[in-house]
Amino acid sequence: MATAKRTRKTDNTRSRIWPYLFVAVLVAVGAAWLTYEDTAKGYAIAGTSYGARVACSCRYVGGRSLGDCEKDFEPGMELISLSEDAEAKSVTASFPLLESQTATYREGYGCVLESWDG
């Protein structure tokens, strides 16, 4: 008695579903970005502004190292990175791909954020 080999349709179907799944995920991410872009940008501006001002004060008023100043950040600010320009006495806080803000130490005023474009 001869038996026929069974082919697995499910393997072929699974391999064809990945492109559709990938496109669906891209559409969902794009829709979420369009929906929450202003909110994300607002949080990035607030976080980088706070981070730059606090780190500048910590560094140039308090005299602490920039790495030590990151300890003063609030929970949730882990993605904000700091860099300093010692010659200009300024600290820049950056949120990846969205925003960066700079605060500069001015004698008699302390650390002041650079003006915003709008």
Burial classification of residue 102, based on how many CB atoms lie within 10 Å of its CB (0-12 exposed, 13-18 middle, 19 or more buried): buried
For the cut 60, the answer to whether the pLDDT of residue 11 exceeds it is: no
What digits encode the pLDDT tens for the residues 12-68? 666 788 888 898 999 998 888 888 888 888 988 999 999 999 999 999 999 999 889
The edge-to-edge listing of strands for the beta sheet with 99-106 is 81-85, 90-95, 99-106, 110-113
Say if pTM beats, i.e. exceeds, 0.75.
Answer: no
Quickly state the pLDDT bin for 90 (edges 50, 70, 90). very high
Q: What is the distance of C-alpha 89 from the center of its chain?
A: 24
| pLDDT at 117 (0 to 100) | 64
Does the structure show a pLDDT above 60 at 3?
yes
